[in-house]
């Protein structure tokens, strides 16, 4: 073989290798976001159909951002088991985050006058007993060691996910000016798990971190220094960690049933929106729908969003 032919072949092989490398780098991943559903018999009938619609789009994951029942529905073992069966019927791995309707508000008479801590423990037994997602197919997750196994971490492509047990509307602060015992026990664990997630994302050079919780923490009031005390430390930590993180930060929550995608977290000095922070709030009763999130490694913004209102059948 002549040296000229050898050089040509070497050039072709190098070009092919570069093309393959570019293709490998230009990857996309997809996940779906739902929450605040099902709230009534209609939504109980429609949610399996919506889960099928989601599966047809071939996402790697579904995230349910909490509140799988109306606050007035009984927090019974039977209902918890029914919701577990519904989520396990998903053809796509599904990760659920507890909401206030699911445990913190179960003390209400209309919800059965349960002990919220006992109901939270039952949620752990039914939904978080093993380090994996729900669904017909599952993915492995990492649980926070200790008393809060509902707080999870997992990875999808270049993105690190972390879930937090932060219920609306006050992070279960309590009824008085001073926080209750449950909040005082749980909130330090929430903060620690969030800080550890950012540290892990920086250490592993993740392109982004996605945080999933149920509560709307009140960004507008926080920016005006009028936020609820139950969210103050959480938002201080979130802002500090976001400003110190080189990648994108996406916060997913439900709670106030107002589907939106915006940038509500502001720099404390400039008062401008923090550029690498985005908030996605889920659909919620009485509107049924889901949001597809596309992670595209070729795009500077990394995340793209497709909104899918559910069509009744």
Which residue ranges make up each domain of the chain?
26-309
Q: Strands (DSSP E) along 7-87, which ranges? A: 28-34, 61-64
CATH of domain 26-309: 3.60.21.10
Q: Is 6 left (phi over 0), alpha (psi -120 to 50) or beta?
A: alpha
Dist. CA 275–CA 267, nearest whole Å: 9
- pTM for this one? 0.91
At 48, is the secondary structure helix, strand, or coil? helix
Could you tell me the strand order of the sheet in which 248-253 lies?
A: 142-143, 152-156, 159-163, 208-212, 248-253, 277-281, 260-262
pLDDT of residue 26: 56
Dist. CA 66–CA 211, nearest whole Å: 13
**Averaged pLDDT, groups of 10, the chain, 313 residues long:** 46 40 65 98 97 97 98 97 98 98 97 98 98 98 98 98 98 94 98 98 98 98 94 98 98 97 97 97 96 93 96 77
pLDDT of residue 311: 85
Output phi, psi for 58, to 5 deg: 60, 45
Residue with tokens 């609820």: 228
pLDDT of residue 282: 98
The full length of the chain comes to: 313
Please say whether the beta carbons of 239 and 268 come within 8 A: yes
Peptide bond connecting 311 to the previous residue in cis, omega within 30 degrees of 0: no
CA separation, residue 265 to residues 34, 189, 250 (Å) = 22, 22, 11
pLDDT of residue 170: 97
pLDDT of residue 176: 86
């Amino acid at each position: 073989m002549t040296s000229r032919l050898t050089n040509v072949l070497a050039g072709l092989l190098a070009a092919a290798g570069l093309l393959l490398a570019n293709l490998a780098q230009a990857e996309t991943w997809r996940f779906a976001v739902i929450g605040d559903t099902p709230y009534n018999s209609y939504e109980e009938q429609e949610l399996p159909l919506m889960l099928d619609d989601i599966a047809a789009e071939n996402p790697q994951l579904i995230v349910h951002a909490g509140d799988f029942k109306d606050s007035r529905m009984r927090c019974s073992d039977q209902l918890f088991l029914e919701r577990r069966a519904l989520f396990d019927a998903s053809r796509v791995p599904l990760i659920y985050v507890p909401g206030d309707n699911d445990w913190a508000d179960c003390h209400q008479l209309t919800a059965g006058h349960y002990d919220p801590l006992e109901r939270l423990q039952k949620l752990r037994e039914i939904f978080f007993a093993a380090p994996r997602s729900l669904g017909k197919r599952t993915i492995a997750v990492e649980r926070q060691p200790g008393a809060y196994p509902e707080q999870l971490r997992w990875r999808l492509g270049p993105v690190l996910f972390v879930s937090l047990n932060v219920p609306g509307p006050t992070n279960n602060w309590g009824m008085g000016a001073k926080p209750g015992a449950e909040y005082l026990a749980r909130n330090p664990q929430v903060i620690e798990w969030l800080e550890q997630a950012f540290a892990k994302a920086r250490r592993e050079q993740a392109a982004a971190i996605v945080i999933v919780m149920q509560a709307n923490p009140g960004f507008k009031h926080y920016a005006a220094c009028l936020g609820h005390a139950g969210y103050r430390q959480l938002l201080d930590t979130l802002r500090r960690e976001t400003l110190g993180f080189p990648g994108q930060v996406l916060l997913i929550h439900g709670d106030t049933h107002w589907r939106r995608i915006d940038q509500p977290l502001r720099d404390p000095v400039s008062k401008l929106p923090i550029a690498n922070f985005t908030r996605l709030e889920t659909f919620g009763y009485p509107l049924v729908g889901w949001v597809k999130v596309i992670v595209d490694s070729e795009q500077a913004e990394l995340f793209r969003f497709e909104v899918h209102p559910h069509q009744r059948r």
